[in-house]
Structure 1
Amino acid sequence: MTDTITKQERETIEAVVHEFLKKMDIEGGFTLEESDGSLLVILNTADSGIVIGYHGEILEAMQLILSLMIAKRLDKFVRITVEVGDYRKNREEYLKQLALKMKDRAVSEQREQVISQLKPWERRVVHLFLQEDPDVVSESEGEGRERVLIIKPRS
């Protein structure tokens, strides 16, 4: 999402999210915040464990469906991020700590370090975190589930 959303678009998004949560039988409320070029939907529900699902899979599916629903209603793409119970925030912190650990290992051993089994958004968090680092460079290689993130010492 490159530009800010209008008041009318925000009202449409709120209606879509409300309708979606109602159809999913998820009780609770939500707030919307614009953050880092996307719209953050913060769910407040007692069903957070169910909404997150195994390794965040339900949360990601909800995010995709909401993005598609909103894009269809607004006739434009809006990057949607869904947060519940600080799941993403905590996961991002973990990923940043992992990136630092792997960076230190790459620098001290002077060899590349591989992190596998990351979801695309998780790889993006690590790439953005390390992009300005003077000691290492990060890149992704492979396809699909075999895609890995590589942290290399700079030459």
Structure 2
Amino acid sequence: MSEELNETVVDETEVQAPEAAESAESSVKALEEEGDIAADYLEELLDIFDLDGDIDIDVRQGRAYLEVTANGDSNLRLISDPETVEALQELTRLAVQVKTTNFSRLILDVGGSRQARVDELTRIVNKLIAKVKDTGEAVPMKPMSSYERKIVHDVISEAGLVSESEGEGRERHIVIKPS
């Protein structure tokens, strides 16, 4: 009986491993498809506004990630403001959702604006971390998107402090607290 049980466990494990690999593979394929749909939508928008740009699609941390770049003297800077990129991202997500009927969590970067925003947030958070360490008091931040909050939570955690998101909707913000 013990040998039969061991064989059953081994057989179930062997069956589950390929299923898990297939699930991960189908998830990546779905995200790549999402990226393709988003890229088609963005290409049409760029054409309508006569903007130059190349679109790169990647899958990062369980999300489709699209980066619009241009070489040399480009008019892409016209839409690389962080608020504009956020709005374009939401429009692109909606376009993907209409085609796939699934919620999209894609990330859009135009002209390196995302990395510039990450650098800016990191600089701001590091100043606030120093303030919290000096005063020992909690410091609230301005409201920001869920993507930005994730970045900020990670920076705060790496510094050994605690952070919490508070508020609802557009008023959702982070409070940095001493550990």
After TM superposition, the score normalised by the length of structure 2 is 0.70
Residue 65 of structure 2 is matched in structure 1 by: 40
Do the aligned partners of 2:32 and 2:57 also contact (CA within 8 Å) in 1? no
Structure 1: segments with no counterpart, 5+ residues: none
Structure 2: segments with no counterpart, 5+ residues: 1-23
Percent of pairs identical after alignment?
Answer: 25
Q: 2:46, 2:118 → 1: CA distance?
A: 25
**Larger proportion of helix:** 2
After TM superposition, the score normalised by the length of structure 1 is 0.79
> How large is the Cα RMSD of the aligned pairs?
2.6
CA displacement, residues 8-65 of structure 1 (integer Å, 9 cap, x when unaligned): 8254444333233333433322111112221111112422221124xx2221111011
Q: 2:46, 2:128 → 1: CA distance?
A: 39
Do the aligned partners of 1:52 and 1:58 also contact (CA within 8 Å) in 2? yes
Do the aligned partners of 1:20 and 1:66 also contact (CA within 8 Å) in 2? no
- Alpha-carbon shift at residue 145 of structure 1 (Å): 4.9
- Work out the number of aligned pairs and report it: 150
Stretch of structure 1 that moved more, 102-111 or 114-123: 114-123
Which has the larger Rg?
Answer: 2
Residue 72 of structure 1 is matched in structure 2 by: 98
The runs of 4+ residues in structure 1 deviating greater than 6 Å are none
1:151 aligns with 2:176: yes
Residue 154 of structure 2 is matched in structure 1 by: 128
**Larger proportion of strand:** 1
